[in-house]
Amino acid sequence: MEFRHEPVLLNEVLQWMNVRADGVYCDGTLGGGGHSEAILKASGGTARLYGIDRDENAIRAAGERLQAYPGFRAIHGNFHDGKMLLEAAGAGPLDGVLLDLGVSSPQLDTAERGFSYHEDAPLDMRMDRSQGMTAAEFLNQADEREIMEVIRDYGEEKWAARIAKIICEHRARKPMETTFDLVEAVDAAIPKAVRRKDDGHPARRTFQAIRIRVNDELDPLETAIRDFTDCLKSGGRICVITFHSLEDRIVKRALKTLEHPCICPPKAPICTCGRKPVVKVLGGGAIPPSAEEVERNPRARSAKLRVAEKL
């Protein structure tokens, strides 16, 4: 598989990362290495950059792509463990961190990975195929209530209860094994009139939800942002790209808490908790892609960039 992926919000990342020569950076979601390559180029090839990814295909592809940069080092692991991984690598304080929380195009487009509802393939959906429960194992083992809650909470799917019921009826006859098994369950659960009015594929929310659950994408996110902020130098910046409202709310809340950590009562005359601001949020909130980028790359449509600077 050729691991090529067009990096989203690339110009915006370079602008807000404030890349400098001899800087030290971390791309916590390395993917195909597009953002990392741009950061290394912007530094004049003098930066050190640690790229973390749990997908071994991404590690191999980025290693080949960036082999001309002596300061690049790939680390196989989960960005949720980024602080520990960077300490083990001897990275030292960072000038910048990037987290692109989207699924890479090669993962979506490679049928056997099981992320796509357009291709019939084994229901896998794991970012790191060397460990963890597959989507099929989750759907065949979890009870109906848990499946419903995952689809409702992570997919924001209003038909979650009926989809979970149909999945359980399906697996009683035959185990859930392929992506089309899941698509058929969604189709059977959502009325045709509703499906016709849907702007996108009716299974996209359910697939998103199961992928998030299988890869444990949301629960450790806020802690990971705090940990990466700890790794920054004063003046260093963290840039986070989100693609759906659930993760964007978590990122927004995490950065807001770091900017305003005080827990004293609002009417207290002075702060007694002793918690000081850690970052300053930049960019006025969420930064969207340009119209030109969305036209060129429709997958960038839902992307948002949030940036903060370490105080």
Residue 83 amino acid letter: K
Q: Which fold is adopted by the domain 113-215? A: DNA polymerase; domain 1 (1.10.150)
Q: What is the pLDDT of residues 17-75, one digit of tens each?
A: 999 999 999 999 999 899 999 999 999 999 999 999 999 989 999 999 999 999 999 99
What is the location of CATH 3.40.50.150 in the chain? 10-101+219-310
Question: What distance in Å separates the CA atoms of residue 174 and residue 261, rounded to the nearest whole number?
Answer: 51
CATH of domain 10-101+219-310: 3.40.50.150
Q: What is the DSSP letter of 175?
A: -
- With a CB cutoff of 8 Å and minimum separation 6, the contacts of 164 are 144, 145, 147, 148, 151
Question: Is the dihedral angle over the CA atoms 44, 45, 46, 48 positive or is it negative?
Answer: positive
Average confidence score pLDDT of the chain: 94
What is the location of CATH 1.10.150.170 in the chain? 113-215
Q: What is the pLDDT of residues 119-146, one digit of tens each?
A: 999 999 999 888 899 999 999 999 999 9
> Which pLDDT score, from 0 to 100, does residue 109 have?
66
> Which pLDDT score, from 0 to 100, does residue 45 have?
97
pTM of the shown model: 0.91
Residues of the chain with pLDDT under 70: 1-5, 105-109
- The alpha carbons of the chain give a radius of gyration, in whole angstroms, of 21
Query: Do the beta carbons of residue 81 and residue 231 sit within 8 Å?
Result: no
